[in-house]
Structure 1
């Protein structure tokens, strides 16, 4: 592993320790290019390494990709150009581009995606005082050393209507439309809620049965939604990656800060590495998009 790749991996580990990832997940450095790309100091952040994102990386001075979702999840029996996703990996490796995935480690860590979602709905949109902010706690099992957990529970100081929660979510995620399910007989204009359970991505299996008035996630199965409303819970679904993509600019700032900190530490012993890390550009992909459109 080159010093630059190692430094980026170490920086991501400090942001989202891989020990926080779910046991079923596949995280960390998933593709290590055998030869680093020359004169390329860009780190590209994306939710998915789609064909379009891979082409964006290949056409730009990118040497490292942080893909939130793992580009390799299940064991591969072969790696060929016939498979479009595998072709992207092969082209990246040939071009000298390495790929890293933090996935559920970035969900769980304090200050990660779940906290970003929680912060967006725990405060009123009218700039109220700090005491009006909701309390954010871990939902589910607390992970090692208190670094975080699989979900978050927002407890509001004062109940608000479901319509207010929907407004906050759409404003925070910059969405015009979301999917909502209400328990039978409930009026969202007048019904008040005070606790919101949160899980980025697909949260049905984690949220069901938890003590929250509202389940807020990207997607749930049909039967999970039915089970939730049958037991008196509201459901808000925003599209899997819509609950994740808006965090990428925050991740970019965190990664820049970590790289600059590393550069300061190694400056006296490795000036070339320090200069390279200082010059690294962290960019959010322009081609990364939710795969589904509302038409």
Structure 2
């Protein structure tokens, strides 16, 4: 493993410890680069993207940070016949590794679910309370969030806050028969149907839920706000990019707890790693 990849993996572990991940998840360093030591150019960038192969191959990239695991189900072969597998093979040939933080990034304090909570709170950020929804995994965080607003707001205002935070023009809203003001919002990035089911909150805010999960939630008097799976995640990339750059700088300065030798810290500083956010990554579905 190159020192650049080793350092980025250590930085990502500090940002979102893998122990926070859900037991079903497939994450961490999923593809390790293979390159000639005489080709240092491949070490220079870490590209934050969901799965944008062509963009990655245009720049010398050491590591792709992909939110969703490109390898999730067990496989018996790795061939060019499968488009996703072909992407991984091409990345490997280009000397690019792949790391996935997935549900650990949802759960960590300051991660994706906390970022979604900020959008829900709006002007009440100073007085609203945010708690973990689901299993608490030590001081580092836990899955899901539930926001208790200090003052109730109408569903229309909450929807506007969500759309503004996620830069969306439209979202899907499920309304119960009995309309009410909103004082609590349960949050889960991505697909939140299982985690939010039965939670005592006025609103379920997530990317997607199955049809029967929406029907059950509305029948139980809950509002549902669905924004599209990756729309609840992609806007966090600039936050993660800054965290990654800052944490890499800390590793270079930190002699005692970085886990890197002095020679390794000098080497990683020499490469001046650039964290680049994908410019072409987008939600896979269009509304027409």
The alignment's TM-score, normalised by the length of structure 1, stands at 0.91
Where does residue 107 of structure 1 map in the other structure?
Answer: 106
* Residues 1:22 and 1:180: Cα distance change in structure 2 (over 3 Å): same
CA RMSD, aligned part only? 1.5
Where does residue 46 of structure 2 map in the other structure?
Answer: 43
Contact 2:190 2:206 in 1 (8 A): yes
Contact 1:21 1:108 in 2 (8 A): yes
1:119 aligns with 2:118: yes
Unaligned runs of 5+ in 1: none
Contact 1:139 1:149 in 2 (8 A): yes
1:209 aligns with 2:198: yes
Tell me, in whole angstroms, the C-alpha distance in 2 between the residues paired with 1:268 and 1:11. 16
The Cα shift of 1:121 comes to 1.1
Contact 2:4 2:62 in 1 (8 A): no
Contact 1:216 1:235 in 2 (8 A): yes
Contact 1:264 1:274 in 2 (8 A): no
The Cα shift of 1:244 comes to 0.1
Unaligned runs of 5+ in 2: 255-259
| Equivalent residues, number | 280
1:167 aligns with 2:157: no
The Cα shift of 1:264 comes to 2.0
* Residues 1:270 and 1:86: Cα distance change in structure 2 (over 3 Å): closer
Contact 2:21 2:102 in 1 (8 A): yes
Q: Secondary structure at the match of 2:144?
A: strand
The 5-angstrom pairing of residues 49-68 of structure 1 reads: 49=51, 53-68=52-67
- Give the counterpart of 2:207 among 195, 218, 222: 218
Tell me, in whole angstroms, the C-alpha distance in 1 between the residues paired with 2:193 and 2:265. 49
Where does residue 32 of structure 1 map in the other structure?
Answer: 32
The Cα shift of 1:185 comes to 4.4
Where does residue 250 of structure 1 map in the other structure?
Answer: 239
The alignment's TM-score, normalised by the length of structure 2, stands at 0.93
